[in-house]
Amino acid sequence: MAASLFMGFGALAILVFLIVIRIPIAYAMILVGGVGIALINGPMLLLSQLKTLAYGQFAVYDLSVIPLFILMGALASKTGLSQSLFRAANAWLGWMKGGTAMAAIASCAGFGAVCGSSLATASTMGKVALPELKRYNYSGALATGTLAAGGVLGILIPPSVVLIIYAVIVEANIVTMFVAAFIPGILAVLLFLAVIALYVFVSPSSGPAGGAGTREEFLAASLGVLPVLTVFGLVIGGIYFGFYNPTPAAAVGVFLVMMFGLLQRNLSLSDMIEALKETAATSGMIYLILLGAELLKIFMSRIGLPQETAAWIAGSGLEPMTVMLLILLALIALGCLMDSMSMMLLVIPFFWPVLMELNGGMYQGADGAGYGMSTEDLKIWFGILALIVVELGLITPPVGMNVFVISALAKDTPMIQTFKGVAPFFGAELVRVAILVSFPALTLWLPRVLS
């Protein structure tokens, strides 16, 4: 056991070092996993694995949904949907103090419902909302912090590419995971709106009220959001109500967004080609990370690290909920070093056996008798919690990808101000984690009702 733990944790330390020195995560995992397999079982076994591993990984039907949802988001960012969302949200909320920032949060949530990518949500909505926030003299910290935090909504509100990856890893139902994400996603929006309200209450000059438009402008802006609602209703609603599974739903979404852009004459041939290029590059990156993660998982399984660690923790006397909290803290720390997709692929195969081992004692009744969740409930609950803490890595230093994206757009606002502005939203996310840990029913109720 000691040798396995030493070798496994040594390999993980090397992997983290490679990531720190800016080696792409896919290459780092392929290198560590490949070399580890070759050292243990010889190079011929590694070559034998590589002969069929890539095909076995990429020919999974559930993964075919990823490029389609990525393409839907890429097309949506080029068709004016983001502007329509923000205009509608601003018409409803912009008249109050901090209202334009609240509108940015609401439109980020709406765009996340047709995009599924946090970086794309932050970048697209930043270009749309930042000029309006500046026009109303919002403080740099509140304006950029709001947009950086709003971007994380794209990773949880369905469709979510990272959530699909998690479902494939733990063999969960993608539709069930989408359903489970709905209430935690709404909770995030409400907490973010509360943060903005509290922010402008403490510092009124940071978020002045915007001007109220005419009734005609209000109606026009509200009607402009109908295409987004149509896409969301037919794609996500169709999935929820069982009309089609996620892959056909994603194809329907791509078709609807493309038709909307063509009918509105704001989607050119060059835009479509650019969207296809973005989709190919992003999908290729994801699939290469998947290959590296599978090699690393094979290596770890052959030395027995996940099983040994699970057995060691089970016999350590630690309370199961303590272990869960330590895992969540580890995910937050790792989020400071790598992007959300890479982290999900790297750590979930390692932590999942630990949780399975401890599941029987996750909760204790008043008489001390243990009663755990079913395996399916644990997959759902842990997946949503993991996704939320993965989000935190997008707004925490030193990586903080959303912060870097918004800072590139707001060149007149120092990055330190953006990090200060995003700090209250980070606190709100910790509150959301605490609520969902304390009340698992918030995550599990809707999937049970719709099952």
Whether 316 maps to a domain, the answer reads no
> Which residues make Cβ contacts (< 8 Å) with residue 175, sequence separation at least 6?
239, 240, 245, 246
State the chain's mean pLDDT as an integer: 83
Alpha-carbon distances of 185 from 6, 155, 176, 190, 345, rounded to whole Å = 39, 9, 14, 9, 22
Q: What sections of 140-214 are H helices per DSSP?
A: 140-151, 161-170, 174-202
Instruction: Return the closest-CA partner of residue 139 out of 176, 97, 173.
Output: 97
| Residue listed under structure tokens 């800072």 | 407
Q: What is the residue range of 205's domain?
A: 62-282
Reading the block at residue 235, the tokens are 């794609």
Whether 394 maps to a domain, the answer reads no
Whether 147 maps to a domain, the answer reads yes
What is the predicted pLDDT for the residue at 175? 87
What is the predicted pLDDT for the residue at 367? 40
Instruction: Return the closest-CA partner of residue 190 out of 90, 105, 110.
Output: 105
**Cα–Cα distance, 79 to 57 (Å, whole number):** 33
What is the predicted pLDDT for the residue at 303? 81
- Asked if residue 148 lies in contact with residue 105, where contact means CB atoms within 8 angstroms, the answer is no
Whether 140 maps to a domain, the answer reads yes
What is the predicted pLDDT for the residue at 3? 67
In the chain, how many domains are there? 1
- Asked if residue 385 lies in contact with residue 347, where contact means CB atoms within 8 angstroms, the answer is no
Reading the block at residue 301, the tokens are 């399984």
**Cα–Cα distance, 428 to 413 (Å, whole number):** 23
Instruction: Return the closest-CA partner of residue 377 out of 318, 451, 306, 427.
Output: 451
What is the predicted pLDDT for the residue at 366? 39
- Asked if residue 208 lies in contact with residue 121, where contact means CB atoms within 8 angstroms, the answer is no
208: exposed, middle or buried (Cβ count in 10 Å: 0-12, 13-18, 19+): middle
Instruction: State if pTM tops 0.75.
Output: yes
3-state secondary structure of 33: helix
Alpha-carbon distances of 71 from 247, 312, 316, rounded to whole Å = 12, 44, 47
Sites in the chain below the pLDDT cut of 70: 1-5, 210-214, 306-307, 310, 314, 337, 359-372, 398-399
Whether 407 maps to a domain, the answer reads no
